[in-house]
Amino acid sequence: MARHPFRFGVVVRKAESGRAWAERARLVEDLGFSTLLVPDHVLGPRFAPIAAMTAAAAATTTLRVGTLVFANDYRHPVVLGKELATVDVLSDGRLDVGLGTGWMRADYDGAGLPFDPPKERFERFAEAIEVLRGVWSDGPFSFEGKHYRITDLVQEPKPLQKPFPKLLLPGGGPKMLRLAGRYADYVNLTLRVKADGTAPDETDGGLDAFLRKVELIREGAGDRFDQIEIGTSVQQVGVPAEKETWSAVNTSRQDSTPQVLLGDTAQMVDKLRYWRDEHGLSYYVLHNDKDLDTFAPVVKELAGS
């Protein structure tokens, strides 16, 4: 099992102005986080991801920018591929591409988008990865799939990162985890979501289920498993309290996983070291930037080690 250095990201959703957004990005960089990530939902108080990533990259020098995660159903991968190649060039190769199927039913209903069954959304997503890799490669690209058909397309600019920008995939269910093993540079372990898109699946969760997800990545990855940086979103930090948690997640079954880090800095550091050294999880995303002050000492202690 590879022992990757610790890496930390943080999800930042919005700011009151362009200046405030730039200041937030520089703070995240100064605190030692490697990556600023933005979500992708139609509803709610969130910046649109491509503009937000570009502005954050322009305000910083080493900070990587990315998404947790683009919803594939909202954009054709040819269009998204050109946008992302442009961001990669403008950021000097600091782009991480987080991509998922799309899952939150309220987004689809609010925007009038069809919410297809999980099998169809997953198949379309798997094709989209192939299309993105194709349009980022040299030479004319053609593709004939169930959902996308591309003919002799030569698209520019090409990404600065070779062969492709880093790919971050979420992993909750078995098919997604095995696909992540095949393609991802980073995997963010999540809870499986309900087929109807209303919330995370309450039957998922707990230590055994969490560890099984790592093994599913291994099954999909084969010989490339040690190249993948695996981690998860940290949804609760510090002392036990009534805290906001992301989306509709119930963290009560996650206390034994690194998604919940309770206690003082030393206790949080010790828990993350255990999970990296024993189970290979090295990339942690703080899912609420309101917790920056609490989590920053952990990042200072562990980042890069």
- Tell me, rounded to whole angstroms, the distance of Cα 106 from its chain centroid: 20
Interatomic CA distance for residues 245 and 221, integer angstroms: 31
SS3 152: strand
* Closest C-alpha to 282, from 2, 5, 1: 5
Stretch 23-32: mean pLDDT, rounded? 98
Closest CA to 83 of 47, 53, 59, 121: 53
User: Would you list the DSSP string of 53-99?
Assistant: HHHHHHT-SS-EEEES-EEGGGS-HHHHHHHHHHHHHHTTS-EEEEE
CA distance 50 to 172: 25
Instruction: Please report the DSSP string for 24-53 in residue order.
Output: HHHHHHHTT-SEEEE---SSSS---HHHHH
β pairing state of 64-67 and 35-38: parallel
DSSP 105: H
Q: CA angle 214-104-292, nearest 5°?
A: 65
Would you state the pLDDT for residue 28? 98
Dmax of the chain from CA atoms? 57
The predicted model gives 122-145 an average pLDDT of: 97
Determine contact, residues 211/168, Cβ cutoff 8 Å: no
Give the number of other Cβ atoms within 10 Å of residue 110's Cβ: 13
CA distances from 133 to 10, 38, 105, 197 (A): 26, 22, 28, 28
The confidence score (pLDDT) of residue 254 equals 83
Percent of the chain at pLDDT above 70? 96
Q: Report d(CA 47, CA 52) in Å as an integer.
A: 6
Residue with tokens 């949804």: 235
Kindly indicate the confidence band of residue 240, based on its pLDDT and cuts at 50, 70 and 90: low
pLDDT at 245: 47
Instruction: Confirm if 220 and 177 have CB atoms less than 8 A apart.
Output: yes
> How far from the centroid of its chain's Cα atoms is residue 20's Cα?
23
244 versus 3: the higher-pLDDT residue is 3
Half-sphere exposure of 67 (CA within 13 A, CB side): 28
Using the predicted structure, report yes or no on whether residue 115 has a pLDDT greater than 60. yes
Q: Tell me the mean pLDDT in the region 51-80.
A: 98
The per-type count for the chain, helices as H runs and strands as E runs, is: 9, 13
What rounded mean pLDDT belongs to the chain?
94
| pLDDT at position 69 over 70 | yes
The string of pLDDT tens digits covering residues 252-293 is 678 899 999 999 999 999 999 999 999 999 999 999 999 999
Confidence of residue 135 (pLDDT cuts 50, 70, 90): very high
- Distance between CA 143 and CA 296 in Å, rounded? 45
Check residue 253 and give its pLDDT. 73
pLDDT at 2: 79
